[in-house]
Amino acid sequence: MKLMYKFFVVAFITASMGAPVIAQNANQVKSETIKASYLIALGKKATDGEVNYWMGQNLPGNDMLKTLVENHRQYMQGNPEVEKDMIRRSFKNAYGRDPNNNEVLQNMRENKTYSEWINNHVAWLRKTPSDYEHAIRNAYQIVLGRQPQSGELNYWKSKTANAFYIVASCVENCKRSGGAGYCASNVMATNSSYASTLAVLPQVAAQGNSLLGTAAGNVIAPGGGNVVAAGGGNVVAAGGLN
């Protein structure tokens, strides 16, 4: 089972209410929900084969995303290598580093999804300032090839802790905007090297927000904090490091 994307920008789409359009819209909602489920449960993009498989299954309309995420959770229980990859991915995107083998094995004792692990890691960052500072420093070093200036470091430390991938995406957006000399902004790139984007209909975004919790800014993301996405629109995000 391969798995999902990382962020989805919500697009508001209007259409006529003819039967072909309604059917097309239902298929689009289903396809986007399937892709979203891989992001939330595993933090990885779904393959075309996986999307096609689930498109052929009967799924509940109202709880489709929750149903799929729980299915992925059960799948990982029987596939330890898939679970190990997911846990490693959560560490990379939360802290900007690889976990050691003991950390992976210890975390496999719990039956968490990718998003649940990201939230768990960020809760740790919020109560452990030294580790959060290390994640910030990792982001600047990886994106800009330098350590953050005192003002940049204090900017992030003054905010509720964010996952590494959120900080890195914001720093990357600043760099792309020509501000690499001083990057202190909570606007994240929607086409980031550290997260991927997928446009979804409002119905899918609402399910994602319900599952992940209340959005801050216009970003719905595990470990997201109060950040906004460049270009506006609602965004569901997950880290892009595998």
The pLDDT tens digits for 209-223 are 788 764 444 455 566
Identify whether the C-beta of residue 163 lies closer than 8 Å to the C-beta of residue 183. Answer: no
Query: What are the average pLDDT values for consecutive 10-residue runs of the chain, which has 242 residues?
Result: 39 39 79 91 93 96 92 96 95 94 93 92 94 96 96 93 90 90 86 77 80 57 59 58 68
242 falls within a domain: no
Identify whether the C-beta of residue 85 lies closer than 8 Å to the C-beta of residue 241. Answer: no
86 falls within a domain: yes
Residue 226 is predicted with a pLDDT of 58
63 falls within a domain: yes
Could you tell me where the DSSP H helices lie in the chain? 19-42, 48-55, 64-77, 80-95, 101-107, 114-127, 129-144, 150-157, 164-176, 202-212
Altogether, the residues listed in the chain come to a count of 242
Which letter, b or e, does each residue of 66-88 get, where b requires 16 or more Cβ atoms within 10 Å of its Cβ? bebbebbbeebeeeeebbbbbbb
* Structural element, H or E, at residue 236: strand 235-237
SS3 207: helix
Euclidean distance between CA atoms 228 and 215, whole angstroms = 10
Half-sphere exposure of 16 (CA within 13 A, CB side): 3
Residue 4 is predicted with a pLDDT of 40
Closest to 45 (Cα-Cα) out of 77, 95, 1, 87: 1
Euclidean distance between CA atoms 203 and 215, whole angstroms = 15
Residue 158 is predicted with a pLDDT of 92
Domain that holds residue 131: 7-237
Identify whether the C-beta of residue 79 lies closer than 8 Å to the C-beta of residue 111. Answer: no
Closest to 166 (Cα-Cα) out of 209, 222, 86: 222
Number of folded domains in the chain?
1
233 falls within a domain: yes
198 falls within a domain: yes
Residue 209 is predicted with a pLDDT of 78
161 falls within a domain: yes
Say what the pTM is: 0.82
106 falls within a domain: yes
2 falls within a domain: no
Q: Which residues does residue 236 pair with via DSSP β-bridges, in sequence order?
A: 8, 220
User: Which percentage of the chain shows pLDDT scores above 70?
Assistant: 76
